[in-house]
Structure 1
């Protein structure tokens, strides 16, 4: 008997309420609507870029398995190429990791322009209630500028100490750390320093970082729906945690390319743009010699200098806002890669030489358009069905005691789709997926194992995801769950043997680093067999 979608959901015990709580089945949910204001579009050749060079870039990053999620190239203020690797899509936000830092720096620039502070102000002056009993000379000397250029004088990143503070007072924890070097003289990439910039914005303006930026940056650029992770006291993390869309990244880069002007209005002083994007201090990073290394070109106010006269904001696993002033070009990229330098190498190898001084008379390449509209990340490989599917479909397995507190698991299959239900100490969690295709929706499953830092967006209880699955062999069903407003995904492998189930989790961060996921494999037995004493 063939069940329709509603009957299938009722059979699984979801009822009418459940229809709105889980992923669509079998159709997909649309991404959030695009903003009313978008950058103008143009053909690459009309703006002096060869389609062939752009196509070569896309082919190269795919061949190198650099796992891009999105790409947007802007020349002379017009988008000439854009693409999203499904299930990523234009209307989805994407976590920026440390690309967030460049936005935080911009907030400081705006506050300086409004004379709410200066870069020479001492950090301790903003937080007299949180300074240690004894203030060292180095701590006393630390300026806002030292926070901006990652030269606070610390010998190690302070972020871990902030997050582990028992009182959840990150400002006090930062000020309590030893400052081993004279501020302004020693470069150390330090996300805690950027957090302090966020705390300073909140202190001097009375507004949270996101609220301060909304009328000054996000609204003028047409950036809607941005959100930012916070510390336990509600202060934006600053150094990470911002989510915006790919085009928002491109707009931000275009604002800097235009020296702070936007639609005839000045949003940032030109002098600030100059200071923020020039080398203020010698940076460190990468394993190559300086002439081949985009981490040794110098650091500005939360921006990295690049080779070829460019500069960038960047975030972990390949979140990029690359600005090429000489070429009047911006490149926005989101990804999950273990080799960030490799993405930049391909930009310099293919995109940069494709840029010409004037318009190109050659016809645009149909191949580029076809490629950009058919981008997709790989689906789980395998067969659409197996004899095991009918045997286990909808039947619960009782899971042995485990640190994840998962007590019961079931998989239900119908019409090229599945629903995976996990029950733990917090209740039931359902994930609906397609077989041979993505199904999009929301989940309340915890995403902590997939994140670098255990901070969250205030009041966010669900995460957007896309799920797919396939039978790797007759007894193994492999699901890929992509958390599509983050950079990450995980594989969930279900191995059925008789009345037994083994469940294994592989998070993408472990796959990237070729390490073992720290979550244990779960073992379960068919509930009917348990009740019969088997």
Structure 2
């Protein structure tokens, strides 16, 4: 995935990387629209935008801004194509891909397997019939039916993911939450589910999650720069700790879009088939969201597979348009954190598609 490195400096410290002189279906003024939107304050906190179409760079821009590393302030960062950025919960979707690779290698039990069979250290939990009925698919699709609250800010120790990170035994904390709905009947956003997947991968492969990711996914895709934060107990945070560059995340999106020898097609097919529905109406499958996005030029809506993270992090894959898009922002824990990626995708990228 060659990316041009010549830069054109714009106002307010923005950096726009020009695209190759190839046939594009994006209008030639999309970069100007993006820059003007940022200058007008409509995209406050936006750090990076990278759009690939037909495997080529269609739009790439970076903006300086205040950032942090998993809650630790970094001050003002001059973002660029080599800058690592928090993915937050986009990490969940990457962990799903790693589980799919491990599954194809025979290293982890299949989704249909009983979940608690992988946790024999907690024999008391199997005494509860509801917990005994759990399969790994319940964790993959966040339908365990347990009490879990991540609606609180991630600065609040009562937030369930933060409480998990601080717990003396994170896995018992996850598995021992009170059952509030019948397993498999309702989706509840739950980073603990992803932590369970990380555990399965580590136990099955005999590698730390970050080491397996490097060996099985990142290096084969040409991603040589990444970081993956660990909790106080030294356990890699499968749910939210990964940091990648925008081009690195785009490489993963392209692999999902096109399919290759690295990502098993059978797993991608699973991820693209809705298994449940979120509380806000989107389809959900194996740690990925599924929805539709409007394309004004064609007058219809395109199926979209995407990953999203706190602060405005997004990876969009729209197969019908041969399009992959990445957005990074620094609007962590804000009520309008969804705004930047939505405006960039709908009002700039998709509105710029030419019929």
TM-score (norm 2): 0.80
Q: Is the 8 A contact 2:145 2:181 kept in 1?
A: yes
Would the alpha carbon gap of residues 44 and 353 (structure 1) be closer, same or farther in structure 2, given more than 3 Å must change? Answer: farther
> Does the C-alpha gap of structure 1 residues 230 and 77 become closer, same or farther in structure 2, counting only changes over 3 Å?
same
Question: Residues 281 and 356 of structure 1: is their aligned pair in 2 closer, same or farther, counting only changes over 3 Å?
Answer: same
Q: 1:133: Cα distance to partner?
A: 5.5
1:228 and 1:241 in contact (8 A); partners too: yes
Structure 2 counterpart of 1:106: 97
Give the distance between the partners of 1:341 and 1:306, measured in 2 at CA. 15
SS of equivalent to 1:306: strand
Q: Does 1:355 align with 2:346?
A: no
Whole-Å separation in 1 of the counterparts to 2:246 and 2:129: 43
Q: Which residue of 2 aligns with 1:235?
A: 235
SS in 2 for 1:321: strand
Between structure 1 and structure 2, the one with the greater Rg is 1
**Which of 84, 93, 98 does residue 84 from structure 2 map onto?**
93
Please tell me whether residue 136 in structure 1 is matched to residue 122 in structure 2: no
Q: Deviations for 1:477-498, whole angstroms, at most 9, x for unmatched residues?
A: xxxxxxxxxxxxxxxxxxxxxx
Higher RCO (CA 8 Å, separation ≥ 6 residues): 2
Residue 272 of structure 2 corresponds to 277
Match of 2:26 among 28, 36, 49: 49
1:162 is matched with which residue?
164
Query: RMSD of aligned C-alpha atoms?
Result: 1.9
Match of 1:193 in 2: 193
Partner residue, 1:220: 220
Counterpart residue number, 1:321:
315
Aligned partner (choices 48, 54, 63) of residue 76 of structure 1: 54
Q: Which residue of 2 aligns with 1:462?
A: none
Match of 2:326 among 322, 332, 353: 332
In structure 2, what is the Cα distance between the partners aligned to 1:151 and 1:274? 20
* Greater shift in the superposed pair: 345-354 or 139-148: 345-354
Where structure 2 has 5 or more consecutive residues not aligned to the other structure, the ranges are 5-18, 65-77, 150-159, 294-302
Kept in 1: contact 2:92–2:239 (CA 8 A): yes
Structure 2 Cα separation of the partners of residues 145 and 62 of structure 1: 45
- Taking a change above 3 Å as real, the CA distance of residues 58 and 189 of structure 1, as seen in their structure-2 partners, is farther
Partner of 1:152: helix, strand, or coil?
coil
Partner residue in 2 for 1:121 = 113
Q: State the distance in 2 between where 1:243 and 1:213 align.
A: 12
- Tell me the number of residue pairs that the alignment of Structure 1 and Structure 2 aligns: 303
1:231 and 1:341, CA in 2 relative to 1: closer, same or farther beyond 3 A?
Answer: closer
Aligned partners of 1:192 and 1:239 also within 8 Å: yes
CA distance in 2, matches of 1:242, 1:140: 31
Alpha-carbon separation, structure 2, partners of 1:207 and 1:43: 40
d(CA) in 2 for partners of 1:299, 1:61? 31
Residue number in structure 2 paired with 1:39: 2
Conserved? CA contact 1:132–1:175, under 8 Å: no
Gaps of 5+ in 1: 1-37, 286-295, 358-534
Q: Distance in 1 between matches of 2:52 and 2:205?
A: 34
Map of 1:147 onto structure 2: 139
Query: 2:165, 2:232 within 8 Å by CA — same for their partners in 1?
Result: no
- In 1, Cα distance between the equivalents of 2:190 and 2:208? 21
Counterpart for residue 341 of structure 1: 338
Q: Is the 8 A contact 1:147 1:194 kept in 2?
A: yes
Alignment match, 2:70: none
